[in-house]
Structure 1
Amino acid sequence: MNMSRLLVSLVALLLLPAAARAEGGCEEWISPALAEGPVTFGFLSADVATGRRACPRTEAGFGVQGGAIIETANLYGAVTGAGLLSGSLAVRPDLEVFATLEALRVQYVQNATLTGTVISLGQLTVGGTWMALTRGPLVVSPSVRLQLPTSFASPRMRTVGGEVGAAVLYRPVNRFEVHGYAGVDTAMSLGAAAALPRVGFLVNVGTEYALCSGFAAVLDANVHFGHRAALDYVAPALGLRFRAGEHFGAELGASMPVLGAERALAIGGLKLTYRM
């Protein structure tokens, strides 16, 4: 097969609808408008190292999230907030592409003598998830995510990175699931400063239960290694998920590090989605 035919075949594989429908756990969820998978508010930029759901969806979302560092002994404090735009497209029943943009990032910092506020565009991430295995209620979906150097928070430096991982879903009934994610994330700086390459490892395990078709609660445990220290954080996360009608959904979520080098007291946010 020559190169042109190979390229045509690859494009057709990605863009043409698959003949088979998604099966098993991904079709069991009690309400399409309710969010699925791990809580998506994390301690790194945009949605890096927050895990990923296993099931492809087509949706558009808007969210806000924020966190705070308060170190009285060091006379230091920082409050960060971001407005997030996100979206995903189920190209096929087993293939999703997605993106998240920190459309507005605000950080206020104060130490013993100085204060400062930075308002800028934040990081953009793009990626894809492939539902590689379905066996009844079990779904396994590898994913890849790129972090693009779009942030202007530091005028002489840009951050670039990536993440590779896999999501696992076990959904035996339509209102209960156990989910997990394991991934490796990398980041480095571009510009006048040192590159400072970093590698992190995330393990997420969680469960979600829908009390009814309009409300579900999710509880996650997240462990991250290697980005700032040998143990970055052990952080439980809680999410409350709602739906309004057939297409609209909302999620309130928060995560708090209880062990590790992470300096933030907590991070939390609100996300609104429209599922198509």
Structure 2
Amino acid sequence: MELKEQTVLITGASRGLGAELARAFAKEGANVVVNFFKSEQKAANIAKEIGQKAIAIKADIRDLKQVQEMVAKAKDLFQTPVTTVVNNALVNFRFDPVAQKSALELNWEGFQTQFDGSIKGSLNAIQACLSDMKENQFGRVINVGTNLFQNPVVAYHEYTTAKAALLGFTRNMAKELGQYGITVNMISGGLLRETDASSVTTDEVFGIIEATTPLQKVTTPAELADTALFFASPWARAVTGQNLVVDGGLVMD
């Protein structure tokens, strides 16, 4: 299915990487569901910027009922089911190397928050769209990971551990859902310059990344969004269960 024929749900699409993902898919002619939980005005602005082929819908990705209602609303508006899910939402985390808790300060609640956002949120989004995907024998799921579990420039324990689990989740879903024409892949950037979550990242950390990356630059949200288009496009029809690292070559896997 061509990108212009797809209806794309992007979780956490009101700002940062999510907003760039929304713009990228809209540029290719896709219908775009701009999901948000707290940033209503920012989501509305993104949808307005895109135009008639976008809608901003509030839903807590950790709540299956809310996600199901969001998907149903989008299907009713666009008169076509959601074909493509981009699991991007980030729950209550900022890349602040100064505020990050040490090993002695960590608590399970922090880990649980990230697991709920990364794994439970992704599961809810897939389940809400799965019946239509199976019926149509087509689906694209793109999970947003990180290169930090391969190269922890900063030990963001809770976030990084949840994203490492997301890779296992991605590959298990790819194994099961491939028989229905559904591909499931992951894209992993590094610390991006700049999103709301990385706005507190120090110049020192960004400097380390630039100095040790072959391209000598920090990856931008727009550059990472381009890769999502590939996984959703016909060019990637035989690709599933993969984790593509998009970080200028910092991690070579």
More helix by share: 2
After TM superposition, is the score higher than 0.5? no
> How does the TM-score come out when normalised to structure 1?
0.34
> How does the TM-score come out when normalised to structure 2?
0.36
